[in-house]
Structure 1
Amino acid sequence: MKRLLISLVAVLATAATAMASSLVRPNDMGTGSLLFESNTPGLYVEAPRVDSDFDITVSGQIARTRITQRFENPANGWVEGVYVFPLPENAAVDTLKMVIGDRIVVGDIKEKQEAKQIYEKAKAAGLKAALLEQERPNIFTNQIANIGPRESIVIQIEYQQPVRLSSGVFSLRVPMVVAPRYSPLPALALSASAEGQEMYIVSDPVPDRANIEPPVLDPRKNPPVNPIAVAVHLKPGFDIGEVKSSYHDVVAAGEAQARDITLKNPEFADRDFELTWTAKPSQAPAVSVFAEKLADDQYALVQITPPSSEPQQKRLPREAIFVIDNSGSMAGPSMAQAKASLVYALDRLDAGDRFNVIRFDNTMERVFPRAVEASRQNIDYARNFVAALDADGGTEMLEPLRAALDDQNPGDASYLRQVVFLTDGAIGNEQQMFDLLGTQRGRSRVFMVGIGSAPNGFLMTRMAEIGRGSFTQIGEGGQVEERMRELFAKLENPAVTNLKVTASSASIEPTPSDLPDLYRGEPLTLLVKALELEGTLGISGTIGDRTWSETIALDKSVPGSGIGKLWARRMIDDAEVARSLGRIEQTAADARILSLALEHHLVSRVTSLVAVDKTPSRQQGEPLARADVPLNLPAGWDFDKVFGEQEPKPEREAMLDATMVASVKAAPAPAQAAAQPKQIDLPQTATPSQMLMIAGAMLIALALALQAAARRRGVA
Structure 2
Amino acid sequence: MVLTPAPAAARPEPCAPPAALLHRALALCAPLLLGLVAWLGSLDGAAAAPGSGALLLRGKLPQSAPVEAPRLKTDIAVAVSGPTARATITQLFRNTTDQWVEGTYVYPLPEDAAVDAMTLVVGDRVIVADIRARAAARQAYEAAREAGHAAALTEQERPNLFTNSVANIGPGETVLVQIAYQQPVRLSGGTHALRIPLVVAPRYNPAPAPVTPAAEGAGADPVPDRARITPPVLDPAEHAPANPVTLTVTLQAGFPLGSVQSATHPIRVEETGPESRRVTLADGPVPADRDIELTWTAAPARAPAIGLFRERVGTDEYLLAVVTPPEGQNLARRPRDVTFVIDNSGSMAGASMRQAKASLLMALDRLAPADRFNVIRFDNTMDQLFPEAVPADERHLAVARSFVAALEARGGTEMLAPLTAALADPTPERTDRVRQIVFLTDGAIGNEEQIFSAIAAGRGRSRLFMIGIGSAPNAHLMTYAAELGRGSYTAIGTIDQVAERMRELLTKLESPVVTDLTASFSEPGVEATPRLLPDLYRGEPVVLAARLGRSAGTLTLRGRIGDRPWEQVLRLAQAEEGQGISKVWARAKIGEAETARLTGRLSAEAADAVILSLALEHRLMTRLTSLVAVDVTPRRPTGTPLTAADLPLTLPAGWDFEAVFGRSGAAQPAQPARERRAQVPSPLATAASGIALPQTASDAPLLLWLGLSLLAASALILRRPGRVA
Tell me whether 1:664 sits opposite 2:660 in the alignment: no
What code does the residue aligned with 2:224 have? P
Deviation track 1:136-165 (CA, whole Å, cap 9, x = no partner) reads 000000000000111110000000100001
- 1:682 and 1:435 mapped to 2: Cα distance? 28
| Shift of residue 202, structure 1, vs aligned partner | 3.0
Tell me whether 1:212 sits opposite 2:218 in the alignment: no
Deviation track 1:587-606 (CA, whole Å, cap 9, x = no partner) reads 11111100000000000010
- 2:330 and 2:396 mapped to 1: Cα distance? 27
Tell me whether 1:281 sits opposite 2:300 in the alignment: yes
Aligned to 1:386: 404
- 1:667 and 1:588 mapped to 2: Cα distance? 39
Q: Secondary structure in 1 aligned to 2:478? A: helix
| Shift of residue 181, structure 1, vs aligned partner | 0.5
Tell me whether 1:269 sits opposite 2:291 in the alignment: no
Q: Secondary structure in 1 aligned to 2:143? A: helix
Pairwise CA RMSD: 2.1
Aligned to 2:260: 243
Q: How does 1:529-544 map to 2 (within 5 A)?
A: 529-544=547-562
Given candidates 198, 208, 216, the residue that maps to 1:176 is: 198
Q: Secondary structure in 2 aligned to 1:68? A: strand
Question: Contact 1:362 / 1:671 at 8 angstroms: preserved in 2?
Answer: no
Structure 2: state its 5+ residue gaps. 1-41, 680-685, 696-725
Question: Contact 1:394 / 1:670 at 8 angstroms: preserved in 2?
Answer: no
- 2:453 and 2:337 mapped to 1: Cα distance? 23
Question: Contact 1:233 / 1:258 at 8 angstroms: preserved in 2?
Answer: yes
Q: How does 1:471-550 map to 2 (within 5 A)?
A: 471-550=489-568
Question: Contact 1:644 / 1:670 at 8 angstroms: preserved in 2?
Answer: no
Return structure 1 stretches of 4+ with deviation > 6 angstroms.
198-201, 680-683
- 2:68 and 2:670 mapped to 1: Cα distance? 13
Tell me whether 1:555 sits opposite 2:573 in the alignment: yes
| Shift of residue 201, structure 1, vs aligned partner | 6.7
| Shift of residue 288, structure 1, vs aligned partner | 1.6
Tell me whether 1:619 sits opposite 2:641 in the alignment: no
Aligned to 1:692: none
Deviation track 1:104-161 (CA, whole Å, cap 9, x = no partner) reads 1000000000000000000010001000000000000000000011111000000010
| Shift of residue 27, structure 1, vs aligned partner | 5.3
Aligned to 1:252: 269
Aligned to 2:68: 46
Given candidates 64, 69, 72, the residue that maps to 2:91 is: 69
- 1:417 and 1:594 mapped to 2: Cα distance? 37
Q: Secondary structure in 1 aligned to 2:611? A: helix
Deviation track 1:194-250 (CA, whole Å, cap 9, x = no partner) reads xxxx99973100001111101001111111010000000011111110110111011
Question: Contact 2:57 / 2:68 at 8 angstroms: preserved in 1?
Answer: no
- 1:202 and 1:611 mapped to 2: Cα distance? 38
Q: Secondary structure in 2 aligned to 1:187? A: coil
| Shift of residue 685, structure 1, vs aligned partner | 6.4
TM value normalised by structure 1: 0.87
Question: Contact 1:53 / 1:228 at 8 angstroms: preserved in 2?
Answer: yes
Aligned to 1:35: 55
Q: Percent identity?
A: 53
| Shift of residue 257, structure 1, vs aligned partner | 1.1
Question: Contact 1:501 / 1:539 at 8 angstroms: preserved in 2?
Answer: yes
Tell me whether 1:87 sits opposite 2:105 in the alignment: no
What code does the residue aligned with 1:280 have? A
| Shift of residue 670, structure 1, vs aligned partner | 7.2
| Shift of residue 75, structure 1, vs aligned partner | 1.5
Given candidates 610, 625, 628, the residue that maps to 2:646 is: 628
- 1:629 and 1:162 mapped to 2: Cα distance? 30
- 2:670 and 2:573 mapped to 1: Cα distance? 56
Question: Contact 2:53 / 2:239 at 8 angstroms: preserved in 1?
Answer: no
Q: Secondary structure in 1 aligned to 2:115? A: strand
Q: How does 1:461-476 map to 2 (within 5 A)?
A: 461-476=479-494
What code does the residue aligned with 1:294 have? V
Aligned to 2:24: none
Q: Secondary structure in 2 aligned to 1:443? A: coil
Q: How does 1:232-381 map to 2 (within 5 A)?
A: 232-254=249-271, 255-265=273-283, 266-312=285-331, 314-381=332-399
- 1:507 and 1:685 mapped to 2: Cα distance? 49
| The 10-residue stretch of structure 1 (335-344 or 498-507) with the greater mean CA deviation from structure 2 | 498-507
| Shift of residue 35, structure 1, vs aligned partner | 2.3
Structure 1: state its 5+ residue gaps. 1-23, 193-197, 650-660, 674-679, 688-716
- 1:448 and 1:475 mapped to 2: Cα distance? 14
- 1:399 and 1:30 mapped to 2: Cα distance? 43
| Shift of residue 30, structure 1, vs aligned partner | 7.3
Q: What is the number of equivalent residue pairs in this alignment?
A: 640
Q: Secondary structure in 1 aligned to 2:192? A: strand
- 1:149 and 1:245 mapped to 2: Cα distance? 40
Aligned to 1:456: 474
Distance 1:301 1:451, change over 3 A: same
What code does the residue aligned with 1:74 have? T
What code does the residue aligned with 1:344 have? M
Aligned to 1:118: 140
Question: Contact 1:94 / 1:603 at 8 angstroms: preserved in 2?
Answer: yes
What code does the residue aligned with 2:54 have? L
Question: Max radius of gyration: which structure?
Answer: 2
Deviation track 1:598-626 (CA, whole Å, cap 9, x = no partner) reads 00000001000000011111112100111
Distance 1:95 1:191, change over 3 A: farther
- 1:548 and 1:670 mapped to 2: Cα distance? 54
- 1:201 and 1:334 mapped to 2: Cα distance? 33
| The 10-residue stretch of structure 1 (404-413 or 33-42) with the greater mean CA deviation from structure 2 | 33-42
Deviation track 1:367-387 (CA, whole Å, cap 9, x = no partner) reads 101111111000010000000
- 2:310 and 2:302 mapped to 1: Cα distance? 20
Aligned to 1:652: none
Distance 1:393 1:667, change over 3 A: closer
| Shift of residue 189, structure 1, vs aligned partner | 3.9
Aligned to 2:8: none
Q: Secondary structure in 1 aligned to 2:375? A: strand
- 2:309 and 2:618 mapped to 1: Cα distance? 19
TM value normalised by structure 2: 0.86
Aligned to 1:195: none
